[in-house]
Amino acid sequence: MKHVILGNGPTGVVAAETLRRAAPADEILMVGSEGEPPYSRMAIPYLLEENIDESGTYLRKTPDHFKKLRVRELNARAVSLDTEQRRILFQDGHFEDYDRLLIATGSHPVRPPIPGVDLPEVQTCWTLADARAIANLAKPGSRVLQLGAGFIGCIIMEALAARGVQLTVVEMGDRMVPRMMTPKAGGMIKNWVETKGIRVVTNAGVKRIDRSAQPSVVDVTLSTGDVLSCDLVIVAAGVAPNVAFLESTPVHVAKGVLVNEYLETSVPGVYAAGDVAEAPDLFTGEHLVAAIQPNAADQARVAALNMAGRPTKLNGVLAINVLATLGLISSSFGQWWGEKSDQGGAGVEHIDEARYRYLSLQFKDDVMIGATSIGLTEHVGALRGLIHGQVKLGAWKERLLANPLQFVEAYVARSQQPMALAR
């Protein structure tokens, strides 16, 4: 049996290792397209802060790790797939056959169609190559404009601040992390960031980027009419799954590659996992891309076990986002935006702006389906436990609506009931 894994990020690596354990005699090929050893994108901010060097981003530290596991590594870009013949065509013209295929190609940052977006002073922050370019341009005192204040935008802000740049963040939404946090929470994060000396312009976009009269400087025109001279522009305006090579194949793709609870695509023998995959959501069953590393590892394990012939189900995807924005910890879980009241929805907010503490809990009937928090770092595991376990809260729901800060007590009381988790 020959397994081909397209992608050598966290998904590809965990899948290769799981496959080796589950199928000791099978052939495994793992393909990456960046010419780097397998590395973790989430370590890039630490690299930019100079807390680690490049080798600190590598997912496995011993150079012969994959050789010892008899996992063949290949640097090549898949450009098309023939699911009838079970073979992949690579950009260099060669083919690889497979018996089982895992699509673990992740996603890429999207560059909005703005005039000047391809100038060399305009960078994304996604790959090690991007990190090298940013490190070169983001020097103490450099004028940096960051386009987008979503998940990745907030994460890299800390690294940019640590490099001593003058940072302006421009966000189309009315708050920071608008697709991850409630309006109140996004507003509080914005206030926090501004107290740290970062300028945040919300409800605004970048209209154009032009080369300035000064060398290596660009003039950025905002939708507000302001023009800012910058040494570096970082585009953090969203990502899109790497699915181009699946065009004109029978593999069903929506935003990402659609998979069932076994991580199998619409084509038998072809699986997908990680940032490129859309798997069923824990609550709604609707397909969801959950582009975070723990999700990549979970899905990789399940996909690999199925590829090795051990039927294993994924227990639904729970959206989890945990952010450290210049020292302020925030998180959101599940359906944080809540459910309509005529569908059994109810919610409550606790707001303490002075101490940067915030909690929003959302319920459907007597189950917590989502939460957003700021500054409550110690017990967020209990929130996750309540939501992921779909714990029936009984009378605790009303108590939490009256005082949401009692969620730890609710977790202890209800998750220790023998029947509490049964649904």
Closest separation between CB of residue 94 and ligand FAD, Å?
A: 13
Using CB under 6 A as the binding rule, whether residue 245 contacts ligand FAD is answered as yes
Backbone dihedral region of 86: left (phi > 0), alpha (psi from -120 to 50 degrees) or beta? left
The reply to whether 126 sits near ligand FAD by the rule CB under 6 A is: yes
* Interface with ligand FAD, residue 121, by CB under 6 A: no
**125 lies in the site for ligand FAD, by CB under 6 A:** yes
Q: Is 170 in the site for ligand FAD (CB under 6 A)?
A: no
Does residue number 135 form part of the binding site for ligand FAD (CB under 6 A)? no
Stretch that binds ligand FAD, among 36-44, 140-148, 215-223, 358-366 (CB under 6 A): 36-44
Minimal CA–CA distance to 44: which of 56, 34, 28, 36? 56
Contact between 11 and ligand FAD by CB under 6 A: the answer reads yes
Per CB under 6 A, which of residues 277..296 are in contact with ligand FAD? 291-294, 296
- Is 133 near ligand FAD (CB under 6 A)? no
Exactly one of 71, 114, 138, 156 binds ligand FAD (CB under 6 A); which one? 156
Output 238 or 316, the one with its CB closest to ligand FAD. 238
Shortest CB 276 distance to ligand FAD, Å = 6
Q: Is 240 a residue that touches ligand FAD (CB under 6 A)?
A: no
42 binds ligand FAD (CB under 6 A): yes
Q: Taking CB under 6 A as the rule, does residue 102 contact ligand FAD?
A: no
Beta carbon nearer to ligand FAD, 60 or 208 = 60
Minimum CB–partner distance for residue 48 and ligand FAD (Å): 9
Among 87, 82, 107, 105, residue whose Cα is nearest residue 247: 82
Opening angle at CA 235, ends 229 and 237, nearest 5: 130
Q: Is 16 in the site for ligand FAD (CB under 6 A)?
A: no
Taking the complex as a whole, the smallest distance from the CB of residue 59 to ligand FAD amounts, in Å, to 9
Comparing CB distances to ligand FAD, the nearer of 142 and 293 is 293
Which residues sit at the interface with ligand FAD, rule CB under 6 A?
6-12, 31-34, 41-42, 44-45, 77-78, 104-106, 125-126, 152, 155-156, 242, 245, 274-275, 291-294, 296
